[in-house]
């Protein structure tokens, strides 16, 4: 597959996948998600690869979720040609990140927001630049991820904090994210890739089979969330075509305050 939306390189046992849409803060469209799945598949199949890094181009953003400018009135299906779901294969991407039998490290270089935040949550480890910002925005823009994005997040940082993140839609700095247990390490911005590679080297020194079995055993305890994700995406496609959800998308695109209060009647 020829990539336009991501960069993909393999160096000394590491596969580095970079979301490359800086003009929209590395938001993803259907093609981006397909390319990410393809790259994870390639890293999965390549026995020389022992660890995968997911990051974003530039200083501003890791990924800010679905591209709101590409979102139609009933999801993203026009562009993707998909007949099911919201038109973005995010559930397949989440499964690829979770099930690839090698550790995946998110190197968060800026905003990790919305669906972009969920991507780092499902990675095995997260190393954050001190400039990184974390948060969910679904209830502000007429969307939600009620699978790994919420149920698994609650396992990582606890129910109260996970509910706060989704219900208030605020942003959190890197140090605060570390205190919550949302990231493993915070490093000065300019050291992010260097430190991530040091972690990769440490992982590459370890037994690949032991790492694979440990990853599978960690996953087993939360595997049922995949079913919740499928239900979530199935309901999201219906929600996306509602006037209420479109108010969220339109307010963001039109750069105006959102008015969800009119739907509380």
The SS3 assignment for 125 reads strand
CB of 163 to ligand S0N, least distance (A): 15
CA 41-91-39 angle, to 5 degrees, is 20
Residues 6+ apart with CB under 8 A from 39: 3, 6, 8, 15, 17
Which of the 8 DSSP states describes residue 189? Answer: G
Q: Which is nearer to ligand S0N, 12 or 23 (CB)?
A: 23
* Chain centre distance of CA 84: 21
CB of 228 to ligand S0N, least distance (A): 13
CB of 70 to ligand S0N, least distance (A): 7
Q: Which is nearer to ligand S0N, 18 or 68 (CB)?
A: 68
Q: Which is nearer to ligand S0N, 50 or 138 (CB)?
A: 138
CB of 46 to ligand S0N, least distance (A): 28
Q: Which is nearer to ligand S0N, 51 or 63 (CB)?
A: 63
Q: List the structure tokens of 63.
A: 């990924």
Contacts to ligand S0N by CB under 6 A: 24-25, 27, 64-69, 86, 88, 90, 111, 113-115, 118, 136-138, 141, 143-145, 149, 252
CB of 144 to ligand S0N, least distance (A): 5
Q: List the structure tokens of 169.
A: 């839609």
Q: Which is nearer to ligand S0N, 41 or 69 (CB)?
A: 69
For 257, counting Cβ atoms within 10 Å of its Cβ (0-12 exposed, 13-18 middle, 19+ buried), the class is: exposed
Contact status, residue 144 vs residue 114, Cβ threshold 8 Å:
no
């Amino acid at each position: 597959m020829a990539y336009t939306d991501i960069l993909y390189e393999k160096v000394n046992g590491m596969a580095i996948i970079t979301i490359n849409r800086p003009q929209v803060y590395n938001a993803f469209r259907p093609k981006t998600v397909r390319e990410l799945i393809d790259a994870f598949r390639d890293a999965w199949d390549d026995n020389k690869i022992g660890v995968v890094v997911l990051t974003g181009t530039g200083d501003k953003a890791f990924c800010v979720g679905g591209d709101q400018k590409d979102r139609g009135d009933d999801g993203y299906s026009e562009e993707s040609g998909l007949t099911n779901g919201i038109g973005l294969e995010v559930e397949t991407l989440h499964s690829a990140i979770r099930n690839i039998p090698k550790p995946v490290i998110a190197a968060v270089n800026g905003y990790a927001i919305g669906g972009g935040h969920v991507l780092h949550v499902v990675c095995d480890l997260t190393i954050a630049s001190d400039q990184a910002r974390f948060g969910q925005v679904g209830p502000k823009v007429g969307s939600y991820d009620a699978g790994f994005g919420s149920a698994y997040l609650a396992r990582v940082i606890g129910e109260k904090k996970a509910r706060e993140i989704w219900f208030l839609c605020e942003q959190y700095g890197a140090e605060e994210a570390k205190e919550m247990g949302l990231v493993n390490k915070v490093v000065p911005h300019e050291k992010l890739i260097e430190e991530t590679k040091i972690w990769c080297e440490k992982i590459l020194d370890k037994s690949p089979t032991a790492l694979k079995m440990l990853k599978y055993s960690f996953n087993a305890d939360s595997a049922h969330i995949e079913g919740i994700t499928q239900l979530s995406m199935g309901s999201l496609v219906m929600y996306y075509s509602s006037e209420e959800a479109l108010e969220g998308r339109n307010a963001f695109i039109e750069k105006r305050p959102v008015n969800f209060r009119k739907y509380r009647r």
